Amino acid sequence: MKLKGRYQVRGIPGYVNRAVIEGTIVDYWSPIGGSDHLLLAHDGQNIFDRKTATFIYTWKLAQSAIRVATDSGKKAPLVVGVFHSSTAADPHGRGKDLTPEDAFREGVKPEIQTPLTVDQLRGNSYLEKIFRVIAPTIIEETMSRVSPETSAMIGSSMGGLATLNSAIRFHDQFHTALALSPHWPLGGDALVDWTVNRLPNKEYMKIWMSRGTKGLDASYQPFQNRADKLMRELGWNEPRFKSKVFHRTAHNERSWASYVSEPLQFWLNN
């Protein structure tokens, strides 16, 4: 791990660290002495730093996590934001990283226009790096002591799909998947069915899904309704599964920040 620097963010004690781990940029924050909870987040550009955020607005994820943990009588979690790999040289890097690779290799067809081919996808290696290299490195660096039971992953849009795909492939590493506005239109009903039928239906696993009602999120309604129906048919019920519609919210960081405390409560309070 190569530490690139650190910076302060209003509402977060101490410093956020920025590091490069095997070529991937990662921002992370930990309470002093480490934590017993771990929150892994996709789209790390939008988690802490307004300067790297897509629309100059972050999730305020750590601020919300600190507040929810404090209200729950728990120590604040270690929060890790993993940057996607889009660059000027590789403008489609985010899609390559976050697309659930196995779904499209196993026959799901894109339902929307995409410049990517199946052979360009690298979602599996992206997730492997998070769980086999990035998370262990930062856990050790911060002297944290976490377990799958106290670990969660969160993401929105394509990051929501990656979060659910992580639950399928790495449920031995974390037990709570928080998927905000999962981008179901990428593969339509076939992607919904492929994903839901492969989620680990175990007592220890908890799944959150949500969507808004404005802009792009409005188009998610039939797919999310299908996912909810199938989840419940398979026996996913509260408190292990929750799906919620947030009215008058859209497909952007400001909207997700406005309600991210609720999925965090779902993780930390149950």
**Res 27 pLDDT > 80:** yes
> What pTM did the predictor assign?
0.98
Q: Which domain holds residue 201?
A: 2-268
Helix 221-233 with 188-198: angle, nearest 10 deg: 30
Q: What is the pLDDT of residue 186?
A: 98
As a whole number of angstroms, the distance between CA 231 and CA 99 comes to 21
Helix or strand or coil: residue 145?
coil
Average pLDDT over residues 23-30: 98
Q: What is the pLDDT of residue 262?
A: 98
CA-closest candidate to residue 122, choices 96, 89, 102:
96
pLDDT digits (tens, 9 = 90+) for 188-214: 999 999 999 999 999 999 999 999 999
CA-closest candidate to residue 78, choices 165, 158, 151:
151
As a whole number of angstroms, the distance between CA 64 and CA 91 comes to 31
Total count of domains within the chain: 1
Q: What percent of the chain has pLDDT over 90?
A: 98
Phi, psi of 58 (to 5 degrees): -100, 170
As a whole number of angstroms, the distance between CA 184 and CA 211 comes to 11
Average pLDDT over residues 40-58: 95
**Res 53 pLDDT > 90:** yes
Q: What is the pLDDT of residue 270?
A: 72
Task: Please provide the average confidence, as pLDDT, over all residues in the chain.
Answer: 97
**Residue 151 in contact with residue 173, Cβ under 8 Å?**
yes
pLDDT digits (tens, 9 = 90+) for 162-186: 999 999 999 999 999 999 999 999 9
CATH number of the structural domain spanning residue 12: 3.40.50.1820
Here the tokens at position 231 are: 């989840």
As a whole number of angstroms, the distance between CA 176 and CA 154 comes to 9
Q: In the sheet where 2-9 sits, what is the strand order?
A: 2-9, 12-21, 24-29, 78-82, 38-41, 151-156, 176-180, 206-212, 241-246
Here the tokens at position 202 are: 């175990």
Neighbours of 8 (CB within 10 A): 9
**Res 55 pLDDT > 90:** no
